[in-house]
Amino acid sequence: MFKIGDFSKLTLVSVRMLRYYDELGLLKPAQVDSFTGYRYYSAKQISSLNKIVKLRDMGFLIAEIAEILEASNNHQRLLLKLEEKQKQIQQNISHENEKLNKLEQMIVSIGMESVSMNYEVTIKTKPSCKVVSLREIIPQYDMEGQLWMKLGGFMEEQKLPCIPPGFAIYHDMEYKESDVDVEVAIGVENILEDQGVFKFRETEAVPSMASMMVPGPFENIAPAYNALAEWVEKNEYKIDGAARQICHKGPWNENSSENYLTEVMFPVHKR
């Protein structure tokens, strides 16, 4: 048996932490002297202590560590607890990577403030056109690609000739962080019968659309929207309907995102 100080030296765990684990019931001393109150530990407890330290370093909370120690003799239960933590850590890594990407984008944008892109806005008339479309509520805007895959698969299966470029319509009247209403559409020669979620229709003509061409990666679209807002206000226009995006060049026909070309469009009218 070892006094708490000696056990601390042998296990590289401080006396303070050993007392803390004792208070929490994670690792009780093998023996406590009833007269002096000294704590004594056994060498057999080292494996339990090592497990506690590893679990703590992996980010497990005290309550979770207690559950795992309790489940140590139940292989399936123990495995389930570890797999749950694995998924949680993977999600945390994904979220942290998203934060890192946004941070990197901000650093780049700050460095480019003096050479910001000069977006040019033009007013266009958008005539009606025959399209086949797919409209769904999707979790987030960046999942729009799934709609294009579904629509492309349908057209290939039906051997429908298309009239590019396709475009997306964002039907929500505000920006939403989740459950967004998006319709993707591509031109066709003839209006056919609807097939389930795939609808054939003729779009309405839009007499006045503020249009802006955005070159480069999709990350450039957000600042382009900001520039469009400034242009709309400066030129005394008012937004009047759902936004559209036309991806003239994208991952399907360009290897480098630097060569992407996206057109952002808003229906507008003079104030």
103-151 pLDDT, tens per residue?
Answer: 887 776 665 554 456 788 999 999 999 999 999 999 999 899 999 999 9
Confidence of residue 75 (pLDDT cuts 50, 70, 90): confident
Domain extent, residue 193, equals 121-270
181 & 245 share domain: yes
Task: Give, to the nearest 10 degrees, the angle between helix 15-24 and helix 46-57.
Answer: 90
Task: Provide the mean pLDDT of the chain.
Answer: 88
Q: Which helix (H) or strand (E) holds 22?
A: helix 15-24
56 & 184 share domain: no
125 & 16 share domain: no
Nearest to 51 by CA among 62, 39, 65: 65
166 & 222 share domain: yes
197 & 260 share domain: yes
The Cα 140–Cα 82 span in angstroms is 30
pLDDT of res. 157: 94
Strand ranges (DSSP E) for 14-58?
31-32, 39-41
141 & 27 share domain: no
126 & 101 share domain: no
Average of per-residue pLDDT across 188-205: 95
pLDDT of res. 110: 64
Domain count, the chain: 3
217 & 88 share domain: no
